[in-house]
Structure 1
Amino acid sequence: MTDKNAPKKTGKKPTPKPAAKKATPSRTAARKTAPKSTPKGKPAPARKSAPAKKAAPKKPDTAKAAQSAAQSVTDMVGEAKRAVGRPAKYSDDFIPQMIAYFNIETERIEEVAVKGKDGLPVTDKEGNVLMEKVVVKNKFPTLERFAARIGVTRETLHDWATAVHRDDGPLKGSLIRPEFSYTYARAKDLQAALLQEGGLDGLYESRIVQFALKNLSGWKDQTEQTVVADITTTDATALDDIYEEGIRNSAEAKQQVLKRKLAGIIPGQAGATGQAVHDADDEE
């Protein structure tokens, strides 16, 4: 008997079956693994990464921290000292510097570039900048500004100028720096001269000039002198009145004495006494 399911024999050889192709993921599987699409115009959300493990905190080194803090404080103090600076020591070089600083005029002449309407310098055909001479007001010199230039204060200048020898000896009570003291006085005189000249020329504000001259040179207002003159005149008038009243009292006293004398010489004769009194008045 023959098997019905057996393949029929043919004269041709059986062809080998092709190798099986690798399986490709199905569309449904691809849809499951592919990220969900985001709407247009919005960026895709970033994937969350697994949180990193936190390292165990290290124990702070207290000794090292204290040392670092101390060093920071030292640096800050050093910077502050460098910013302020130490006060300058006295030097005889300050004498010519002070004279040069205060011995100036109220104005000076400077050569500056000519500027056009646009504010830019004007040049000639060859490209050279045109220059002109103008009068510039000098800044009023002050003791405070000079002290700041040499690194001290105004009080220091005053102390240098007024310091005296205190030790027992032939120099006790004399100035330690007489040349600087003289220069300090000259600086104040030069200030007063500038104030007078600038005030008369209208370069300085009049109220500031008056205030400065009162403090620097001891100036006084005219009204104070007028008050003193009025007081002196009043005192003289009062003295004249007292003198005239004394003269009148003296004349009356003389008449009374004369009347008493005459009354004693011719008693009981009123007429004669009265006539003698009239004669005495005429003599007076």
Structure 2
Amino acid sequence: MSEKKKKTGAPSKYKEEYCQQIVEFFDKEPYEPVQIKVENLDGAMVDSVAVNKAGQPILKPCQLPTLEGFAKSIGVHRETLLNWGKEFTEFFDAIKKAKEIQREILVQNALVGAYDKTFSIFFAKNNTDMNDRGNADFAPVELPPNATSKEMCDHIIRSAAAGQMRIDHAKSYVDIIGASLRIEEVTELAERLKRIEEKLNGGDK
């Protein structure tokens, strides 16, 4: 039986199987190599993987799953899903799991360059818990216009150090933006974040 958080007067279209369905809807491979046909030495056309100028596979991101998309697939509105989450504990947990999968898809595609980093940051700030406006400890940070990836990462780290952004959110932003940086720059950013986290956890006592 569904565990309700509260009772409602109107009949609900909610079904327990939606808990599994929403997770399955979101549970996609983040990307796949672009498949092409090439001619082999014998003149036959065979399947192959498209590569860029650097010889790396060209990756096609999956269609990013959203609450709107799942709602449409079962004939309801996004707001209906959110209301069910308030009413049914197990569906609330399913939505939370689906959003975690969505965030991982977003991060993985940003890391391999399949998503534009500006889009990734905008979507993350507006659709995941990286922009939890209900949390008094977190205020969305405005990134400097026309800044380089390194400058944006520096700005985010300074915001975390000043208490303007949660450290876990800062790590996620840096993961996305820093995908194009050199390994030594990524290492330096990670060390700075680690020192901030240790300080916030009382490591400097």
Q: What is the TM-score of this pair, normalised by structure 2?
A: 0.49
Higher relative contact order (CA 8 A, sep 6+): 2
Task: Choose 1 or 2 for highest CA Rg.
Answer: 1
TM-score by length of structure 1 reads 0.36
